[in-house]
Amino acid sequence: MPKDERIPTSGLIGTRPNRPDGLDKVTGRARYGADFSMPNMLHAAVVRSPHAHARIVKIDASRALALEGVKAVVTRDDFPTGMTGETWNLQENTIAGDTALYDGHAVAAVAATSALVAGDAARLIEVVYEPLPHVTDVDQAFAPDAPAIRAGAADHSVSTDEGEPVRPNVMRKTEFGRGDVEAGFDAADLVRGHNFRTEATHQGYIEPHACVAQMGADNKGEMWVCTQGHWWIRRMCAAVLGIEAAQLRVTPSEIGGGFGGKTTIFMEPLALALSRKSGGRPVKLVMSRSEVLRATGPTASASMDIQLGMKKDGTLTAAKGVFRLQGGAFPGAPVGPAMSCAFASYNLPAVQHLGYDILANRPKCAAYRAPGAPMGAFAVESLIDEMCQELGLDPLEVRLKNAVREGVKSSYGPTYGRIGLVEVLEALKAHPNLSEPLGPNQGRGIAVGYWFNHGGETSVSVAIGEDGTATVSIGTPDIGGLRASIAMMVGERFGIAYDDVRVNVVETGALGVNEPTHGSRATFASGKAAVISADSCIKQMCKRAADKWGIDEEAVEWVDGAAQPAGANAGEFPPMTMKQIAAKMGSTGGPISGHHETNMGGVGASFGAHAVDVEVDPETGFTKILRYVVVQDAGRAVHPSYVEGQFQGGAVQGIGWALNEEYVYGEDGRLQNPIFLDYRVPVASDLPMIDTVIVEVPNPGHPFGVRGVGETGIAPPLPAVANAVARATGVRIRSLPLSPPKVLAAIKANARAKATG
């Protein structure tokens, strides 16, 4: 990139210091959700529906309550009525009302003096169910004759026009686009369209949800919880319980992974309700792994019809997509972002999107890393690859030919500002992996991906200590090195050492509302707010120096951690360091601190391109990843190691989604694989090293050029792996996962077709 695009820094940005929480985390001292305990604490267990869909006829807790050590049982009757909209959804998902909506849906909860007694008591709670017809598959749930999960709940977007079949589980219909798609297809040399399917996967964070909650009869409460966003936990818990948000103080623990899945509530209000009902004793509630898989939010499953027009030279002429996503028994599948990201990498004269948000008897979906983007990417990037094969075109050159650039109107509306897709594709083209020779049964797959990135509600404070060090209070939990990157940016701005900055993730009482660490926003938004807060401290420190020197405040500048006269005309004074100013602050006007809060603007979108080489065993259908490279625009990599880590982690989650991971439901509507043995996430021996290239096209909306890097990396792997498998085997599979039995069956069918054809 041109040199003048680089944002100069004095030394911290782009280095790789040790993270401040590293020592606690390698010694076992760091306290995660389940590591927190309180005196006089009770333990809770949850009774969950074994049925996919059932009317709850009766709940009898008398035998449980008779057990020694049992202190309280709660059911829906312990929660206020009259909720509407998303608050009702959250309450209903926290604990079932008249009807259990999915296998694992909470029906009752119990608190007792030990976890074992609580578990025993839960088994003694007798629930009488009347099973109802259920549906778990997205296409079956979309059908007009599907069992209705919530009749009459569709919003105004769902047409009731005559002639259109009534689809009882379609909650929302979204349609947008521009240009003349049919004319675009007419202008193409090749038009192809297919159905593509992706299965639901779970974020798979290793730490199950856990909290300790305490609330008295006065509805004043406290909670310690592993979450990506404690203000959202506060708001949601308060709404579901009908209490005032200000009366609930929520402190985040260290968090053992989230990937979007810990941005909402699942069981937290149950712990609060149990505490209140047991005389205000603290209640600890820790989910088991099977509870996590059955009853927290996986991602949606999707069925998509994609059609593309391409000229012989690879130019795309038009695109059309129908996106059907089920996000469980509640509205809110990520249909919007699936549509908006699907074609976002391409400069298209005409594009049309139609999306359906569909209910099914599955748990309420939650965000999962670039929610919606991987599904659309799988469909669109697979189809482009297939058309490149048919026209004999290089898939990377076709991406370059159609790539969006600054000033291009995106497929979903906005015109792009400074973006780096072309730079990313050029860097991928230059990567040595693409020159590696391929052997028999091996194939190379390439795909691109997009995520908007996000700003969001952000509130940050910076306070100067008496010794000239800085304490930064942020409200976005540190899920992968955030405190390091914030300390680097603040240290850089002040011109002080990295170790002279301490960053704390503070509780809900200490700052204004912060959205969670989600949307790839924390380093961008909390970082930007921290830098603006530091600037406010610098302004005050310059004033203290100006007052001391008896010169105008405007005549003082901040250089390398000290105030100094701005030029010869301002006067002759030696620089006054941050340490010197801080040491005197008590007598020169009092504490020095800075604060910034806003709905953060200036977001810079991030594109990525991945290339993977695979070898498929023709006898077993097993796919081995031979080499993998992630190229992505970070804007600016504050701490490159953690940027690389995001690239690598996203890629491997995507590889899991492509090859192994899926929610498997039986005919009975029960989840068949609710443990890690059967829900198989990638393990170390499945993988090679994951190569990375950090492209830096600075985001003009951030003081150091940061874009946000967490999410984009999970979109390209699904199609990249599928494209590689298609090229290795000569057969195109349009549904995930590419499990060995499925790949083997496709290889055999292809061989049979060739033999007979």
Partner 1 sequence: MSARRDKTMSKTHVTTSVNGETFEFLAESRETLLDCLRNHLDLTGAKEGCGTGDCGACSVVVDGTLVCSCLMLGVEAEGKSIETIEGMADGNELHPLQRKFIEHAALQCGICTPGILVAARNLLEQNPDPSETEIRYWLAGNLCRCTGYDKIVRAVQDAAAEMRGAA
Give residues in contact with partner 1 (CB under 8 A): 16, 18-19, 21-23, 25-32, 34-35, 115-116, 203-208, 254-259, 286, 288-289, 479-481, 639, 641-642, 644-646, 648-649, 651-653, 675-677, 681-687, 689-690
91 phi and psi, to 5 degrees? -65, -45
548, 554, 558, 563 alpha-carbon torsion, rounded to 10°: -10
Report whether 298 contacts 200 (CB < 8 A).
yes
**Residue 184 or residue 716: which is nearer to partner 1 going by CB?**
716
Q: How far apart are CA 483 and CA 31, in angstroms?
A: 16
Nearest approach in angstroms of CB 506 to partner 1 is: 19
**Cβ contacts of 713 within 8 Å, gap of 6 or more:** 369, 449, 608, 610, 630, 632, 646, 647, 649, 650, 651, 654
Report whether 475 contacts 460 (CB < 8 A).
yes
**Residue 136 or residue 485: which is nearer to partner 1 going by CB?**
485
Q: How far apart are CA 12 and CA 372, in angstroms?
A: 35
Nearest approach in angstroms of CB 233 to partner 1 is: 18
Strand 42-48 and strand 283-286: the pairing is: parallel
Nearest approach in angstroms of CB 21 to partner 1 is: 7
Nearest approach in angstroms of CB 271 to partner 1 is: 18
Report whether 53 contacts 129 (CB < 8 A).
no
**Residue 293 or residue 725: which is nearer to partner 1 going by CB?**
293
**Residue 559 or residue 683: which is nearer to partner 1 going by CB?**
683
Nearest approach in angstroms of CB 624 to partner 1 is: 12
Q: How far apart are CA 102 and CA 506, in angstroms?
A: 36
Report whether 224 contacts 275 (CB < 8 A).
no
Nearest approach in angstroms of CB 485 to partner 1 is: 11
Cα atoms in the 13 Å half-sphere on the side-chain side of 601: 0
395-402 and 373-391 helices, crossing angle to 10°: 120
697 phi and psi, to 5 degrees? -105, 100
**Residue 25 or residue 754: which is nearer to partner 1 going by CB?**
25
Nearest approach in angstroms of CB 645 to partner 1 is: 5
Nearest approach in angstroms of CB 121 to partner 1 is: 14
Nearest approach in angstroms of CB 318 to partner 1 is: 37
**Residue 268 or residue 478: which is nearer to partner 1 going by CB?**
478
**Residue 110 or residue 532: which is nearer to partner 1 going by CB?**
110
Nearest approach in angstroms of CB 688 to partner 1 is: 9
Report whether 487 contacts 472 (CB < 8 A).
yes
Alpha-carbon distances, residue 54 vs 46, 77, 97, 208, 266 (angstroms): 17, 18, 11, 27, 20
Please report the sign of the dihedral spanned by the C-alpha atoms of residue 717, residue 720, residue 726, residue 732. Answer: positive
- Residue whose pair of structure tokens reads 């910034």 in the numeric block: 596
**Residue 57 or residue 206: which is nearer to partner 1 going by CB?**
206
**Residue 183 or residue 675: which is nearer to partner 1 going by CB?**
675
245 phi and psi, to 5 degrees? -60, -35
Nearest approach in angstroms of CB 28 to partner 1 is: 2
- Residue whose pair of structure tokens reads 């949800």 in the numeric block: 209
**Residue 1 or residue 206: which is nearer to partner 1 going by CB?**
206
**Residue 147 or residue 208: which is nearer to partner 1 going by CB?**
208
Q: How far apart are CA 757 and CA 752, in angstroms?
A: 8
**Residue 386 or residue 613: which is nearer to partner 1 going by CB?**
613
Task: Give the strands of the sheet with 470-474, arranged side by side.
Answer: 501-505, 470-474, 456-464, 593-600
Nearest approach in angstroms of CB 451 to partner 1 is: 18
Q: Which amino acid is at 30?
A: A
**Residue 319 or residue 488: which is nearer to partner 1 going by CB?**
488
Q: How far apart are CA 632 and CA 642, in angstroms?
A: 13
**Residue 51 or residue 262: which is nearer to partner 1 going by CB?**
262
Alpha-carbon distances, residue 71 vs 96, 210, 438 (angstroms): 21, 20, 65
**Residue 258 or residue 705: which is nearer to partner 1 going by CB?**
258
Task: Give the strands of the sheet with 351-358, arranged side by side.
Answer: 170-178, 351-358, 316-326, 301-310, 190-198
Q: How far apart are CA 30 and CA 23, in angstroms?
A: 9
Q: Is the peptide bond before 349 cis (omega within 30 degrees of 0)?
A: no
Alpha-carbon distances, residue 363 vs 171, 210, 234, 271, 492 (angstroms): 16, 18, 22, 20, 45
Task: Give the strands of the sheet with 690-695, arranged side by side.
Answer: 442-451, 606-616, 623-633, 690-695
Nearest approach in angstroms of CB 619 to partner 1 is: 22
- Residue 183 forms beta bridges with which residues? none
**Residue 68 or residue 572: which is nearer to partner 1 going by CB?**
68
Nearest approach in angstroms of CB 213 to partner 1 is: 18
Nearest approach in angstroms of CB 683 to partner 1 is: 4
Q: How far apart are CA 692 and CA 648, in angstroms?
A: 7
Nearest approach in angstroms of CB 651 to partner 1 is: 6
Alpha-carbon distances, residue 276 vs 16, 90, 253, 363, 641 (angstroms): 47, 20, 22, 27, 45
Helices (H), strands (E): how many in the chain? 19, 26
**Residue 26 or residue 217: which is nearer to partner 1 going by CB?**
26
**Residue 69 or residue 179: which is nearer to partner 1 going by CB?**
69
